[in-house]
Amino acid sequence: MPSIKEMTTKDGKRFYKIRVSRGRGKSYLSTRWYPPEGWSRKAIERELARQAAEFERQAQAGEVVSREEQAEIDRQQAVEAAKIKTLKQYGEGVFMPTKAVTMSENGRTAYQGMLDHWIYPALGELKLPDITAAEISALLLSMQAAGKAQGTCVKAYAILNSLFKMAYLADLIDRNPMDKVERPKPRKDEMKKPAEAESYTAAELKYILDCLQGEPLKWRAYMSLLIDTGLRRGEACGLKWECVDLDAGRITIAGNLCYTPAKGVYLDTPKSGKARTVDIAPRVVELLRQLRQEQAAGGLSHYVFSRDRSPEPMHPQTPTRYMKDFAKRYGVADLHPHKLRHSFASVAITNGADVASVSEKLGHADKSTTLRMYTHADEDSIKRAGDIFREALTKAAGER
């Protein structure tokens, strides 16, 4: 049975220390859990019990170890690494196990898929020190020749860059061939058109909201929430009622529902690694209130967006399929969850919101990510940018 102790950091932040015994002859293991701000005592106790049970399971299963044990594992891995010769041996024995420690399940699955489908077949049986920049470049060119998008080729480039850097820093190779490999450029037929539409205008979003009036309540609430807050698809699917404060008009994003073929549907932490609280519009509050009443009639779920006639959360890929069908019925171009997220950033910033605030609401760890999403500038916003610039020059001239 884990022991739990409430403590505070030097700067006064509250946390809970969870300690687990592994039996005679083995050291105790401990971890910390920091409750999100604004959580009720009941919610904290419920989540704390789940965290303690999960940490105890991980300790008993050997998924977490002490510093001394980790040092021995690292030593043994270093010994094994010295024996590795081919790229595939290094990828399977060192690179992926190391990356998996800090990656999400989705990220790990994407890396493994790229290695299995492209990198290993082309370079896997070659000895690491013998692989040349020309062979890596040939692989990337073959991917483009096969019609793979630039983003996919860049992902392969990034994985190879990370793998060879790790091998170089471990002194397994005396040179890094990636230093002479150029990052893949888009093919000519991939060049984006000047009028690219990675986000919708405010008028286009209003049209989508108008079309939603004839849709089922669950989808009206889900789509309206995404448009109003810029949530990720999985964050909305993983939203629980305990994190919804209808009276205050705000929600706490504390989970991200994910899916991989190997693991199935599972609840992960938000992509940024921390919970955040965002406000929601009164019309969204009303839709959620109606949804809660409708859901309660058939048995309330812990999740706001559950499967039909089931308390289980909605599959994170279901909204994408729904939006594809919605787009066909109402003539909405290229509708998908992430485009609504881009639209939130673009419309908010175009109409005067500061990047820092938009970044915080979207849960971005880096504000540059938010700026990359701000891609849709209509004629009015372009003219306004010019007017602001000219007004600044006029003001400066008048102050002389």
- Domain extents in the chain: 3-61, 82-186, 202-380
How high is the mean pLDDT of the chain?
87
- Between CA 214 and CA 220 the distance in angstroms is 9
- Between CA 221 and CA 81 the distance in angstroms is 52
- Between CA 217 and CA 233 the distance in angstroms is 17
Say yes or no to pLDDT of 236 above 80: yes
Say yes or no to pLDDT of 400 above 60: no
Say yes or no to pLDDT of 361 above 50: yes
**Residue 36's pLDDT band (boundaries 50, 70, 90)?**
very high
Q: Dihedral (C-alpha) 254, 257, 260, 263: value to the nearest 10 degrees?
A: 70
Burial readout 68-80 (b: 16 or more C-beta within 10 A, e: otherwise): eeeeeeeeeeeee
**Residue 349's pLDDT band (boundaries 50, 70, 90)?**
confident
- Between CA 329 and CA 282 the distance in angstroms is 27
Half-sphere exposure of 230 (CA within 13 A, CB side): 26
Given this model, what pLDDT does residue 380 score? Answer: 58
This prediction has a pTM of 0.59
What's the CATH code, domain 202-380?
A: 1.10.443.10
Say yes or no to pLDDT of 352 above 90: no
355: burial class by Cβ within 10 Å (0-12, 13-18, 19+)?
A: middle
Q: Which CATH architecture has domain 82-186?
A: Orthogonal Bundle (1.10)
Given this model, what pLDDT does residue 253 score? Answer: 93
Lowest mean pLDDT among 45-54, 125-134, 159-168, 256-265: 256-265
- Between CA 296 and CA 165 the distance in angstroms is 54
Given this model, what pLDDT does residue 165 score? Answer: 96
Paired strand residues for 256: 268
Domains 82-186 and 202-380 share a fold: no
The 10s digit of each residue's pLDDT in 148-193 is: 988 899 999 999 999 999 999 998 899 999 999 999 988 777 655 4
Structure tokens of 256? Answer: 């991200």
Q: Work out the percent of the chain whose per-residue pLDDT is above 90.
A: 56
**Residue 378's pLDDT band (boundaries 50, 70, 90)?**
low
Sequence-distant (6+) residues with CB within 8 A of 387 are none
| Positive or negative: CA dihedral 33, 110, 94, 265 | positive
